[in-house]
Chain A
Amino acid sequence: MNSRIYYIATNTFREAVRDRVLYNLIAFALLLTGAAVLVGQISIEIEKLVVINLGLTAVSLFGIVIAIFIGIGLVSKEIDKRTLYTMLSRPVRRWEFIAGKFFGLAGTLVVNTLLMAVGVFAAVLYVSRHFAGSDASILTALYFIVLQFVIVTALALLFSSFSSPLLSAVFTFSLFVIGTFAEDLRGFAKLTHGLPGMLATAAAYVVPNFSALNVISQVAHGGPVSSELILYNTLYALVYAAAVLSAAVLIFERRNLK
């Protein structure tokens, strides 16, 4: 990573911390502590399952919300505050600005996820008194969640590069929802023929596939995740995010900032 991207990334990270983004960890800790203590009283034999399901779902949802709401303002805020002009008048290229913002927010989300992961494992230890070998799969689920964040951050940046914050939020969230139905969309494409079939197939490949990146239920039941899936999900998420970032750079390079 060149030094300009690195500086923009670290400043984006610092700005997120200054904006008290990491305060969501307090809500997360309260949620998990409450669940770990209460669920044994109100349900039967699912204490560990609830802690894993709730913990990973919360990590995912908190992160998605942060990725969307911080991501959509990454470009527009710099334009509103006119700091973008100062930055671009220095030897910083537009693509470096986009890349730096992306790595800064992705880094914030990784740090946030790591801290939440500590909470998830602490809650698992509290309810089950010891770790089982299958608990290592929780790390895989957390890794897939981070891959989701990488894609959502890239999408938020893409929309932020040409649209208003409100519209960017709507577009990104809509794509997240559609992405969770990606496999249904693919199934629908297989059932239809002609132009609708081709459109559905195209849509199924264009929208991000978030369903393959969600192994929360599987992991909660102690099920293993194949190394092949880990490899292909990693490649898919990185390639997809890179493609989206390329589109963001393309749009931002041509954008008239005057």
Chain B
Amino acid sequence: MNRSRRTTTAAALALFFALGTSSGFLLNRVDQLRTGATLEEVLYISSPKLLKRASLGYSGLLADIYWTRAVQYFGSKHHVGSRQYELLWPLLNITTQLDPHLVPAYRFGATFLSQKPPHGAGDPAKAIQLAEYGIQNNSDDWHLYYDLGFIYYDLKDYLSASDAFERGSRVPNAHPFLKLLAAQTAQHGGELETARMLWTATYQTSHDKYIRANAAAHLRAIQVDLEVPALERLAEAYRQRTGRLPASFAEMNAAGLLRGIPLDPLGTPYKLTQDGRVLLQNPDDFPFVQKGVRQGYLPPVTPKILPSD
């Protein structure tokens, strides 16, 4: 290689790396100026029918791309504790219209839509619409009936929940617990034991780590909601027996009302207050609890969902 060619090669290499790096920096700056624009751009074409035509028959892959967008969108909003998920429904609608058999989009999508903010979009009507559309296109998948029943259960519409479980139980190869759930929801809708049954079923039948972690967090919260009132009743029993509230769990142990120091589901001892209330030491670890927290307690913006197991 002569000198001139060597110089040209070196200059081209230097230019390639310098300009390549610069374009990276510039792109970064452009992204900073257009925060949030990228995702909204994908909805410039908001008609699922038009998108299906434009996909030239490759709608399955396009649906996967939209589903990934929906997951990314939900994840990014959920991460910052957002209460607004305005693009979630259009993204899920497009995804499921492009591929009506994409079951994960119905299952997760309905959960994302139905849960109250900041856990989800707080739009159960759309979640029901999505789940029903999923059932219409995948009528032999019992999970979708189960999810629909769950949404109704959260809305405290126990009859509709029971009906959805009942419909699901008639699907060939449906899990036997759907029949039990249908009966239990109809008769004991608002009870914590029914909720425990639902979340246990979710935990046991899902292989997804997010669903299992969420179910485990709900099960821990239900356990706390059952244990705290029970412990407070024991403290009240102590007061009725001795004329004063117990100063500690040790006193209740000595009085034969307890055996050992009661622990929360994560193994941390409960705290007994001077006014006989029982509190969690780390309430942030129990994002869905109704009991065991101080009055006026504000949960963290981003719910702390611990790994399932």
A residues whose Cβ falls under 8 Å from a Cβ of B = 39, 42-46, 49-50, 53-54, 57, 60-61, 177, 180-181, 184, 210-211, 214, 216-217, 220-221, 223
Contact = CB atoms under 8 A, between A and B. Distances in A.
Contacts of B67: 43-44, 46
Contacts of B25: none
Contacts of B64: 43, 46, 49-50, 53-54
Contacts of A216: 57-58, 60-61
B61 A43 contact: no
Interface stretch (B5-13, B78-86, B97-105, B301-309): B97-105
A216 B67 CA distance: 17
Contacts of B104: 44-46
B71 A42 contact: yes
Interface string B59-100: 111011001100110000000000000000000000000010
A44 B112 CA distance: 13
B210 interface: yes
B71 A57 contact: no
B58 A57 contact: yes
Contact of A220 (B56, B60, B72): B60
Contact of A44 (B58, B59, B71): B71
Contact of A42 (B53, B72, B210): B72
B108 to A, nearest CB: 6
B60 A211 contact: no
Contacts, number: 61
Contact of B57 (A43, A50, A214): A214
Contacts of B60: 49, 53, 57, 216-217, 220
A54 B59 CA distance: 11
B58 A46 contact: no
Contacts of A57: 58, 60-61
Given A39-B68, A44-B71, A44-B108, A180 B59 contact: no
Given A45-B208, A180-B57, 8 more contacts: A42-B71, A42-B72, A43-B67, A49-B60, A50-B61, A50-B64, A57-B58, A217-B59
Interface of B: 53, 56-61, 63-64, 67-68, 71-72, 99, 101-102, 104, 107-108, 208, 210
B167 to A, nearest CB: 22
The 6 closest A-B pairs by CB, nearest first: A217-B60, A45-B104, A43-B68, A214-B57, A53-B61, A53-B60
Nearest to B74: A44
Nearest to B138: A221
B75 to A, nearest CB: 9
A155 to B, nearest CB: 16
A184 B104 CA distance: 29
Nearest to A183: B57
A219 to B, nearest CB: 9
B8 to A, nearest CB: 26
A44 to B, nearest CB: 5
Contacts of B107: 45
B208 A44 contact: yes
Contacts of A181: 53
Nearest to A42: B68
Contacts of B102: 46, 49
A210 B72 contact: no
Contacts of A177: 56
Contacts of A39: 68
8 contacts: A42-B72, A43-B68, A45-B104, A57-B60, A210-B57, A216-B60, A217-B63, A217-B99
Contacts of A211: 57
A216 B101 CA distance: 13
A220 B56 CA distance: 17
Contacts of A61: 58
Contact of A180 (B56, B208, B210): B56
Contacts of B53: 181, 184
B49 to A, nearest CB: 11
Nearest to A148: B57
Contacts of B61: 50, 53-54, 57, 216
Nearest to B105: A46
Contact of B108 (A45, A49, A180): A45
B67 to A, nearest CB: 6
A216 B60 CA distance: 7
A221 B57 contact: no
A54 B65 CA distance: 10
A220 B63 CA distance: 12
A220 B101 CA distance: 10
B72 A217 contact: no
Most-contacted residue by chain B among A39, A42, A45, A50 (CB, 10 A)? A45
A127 to B, nearest CB: 13
Nearest to B207: A45
A217 B63 CA distance: 10
Nearest to B209: A44
B23 to A, nearest CB: 21
Contact of A221 (B56, B68, B71, B101): B101
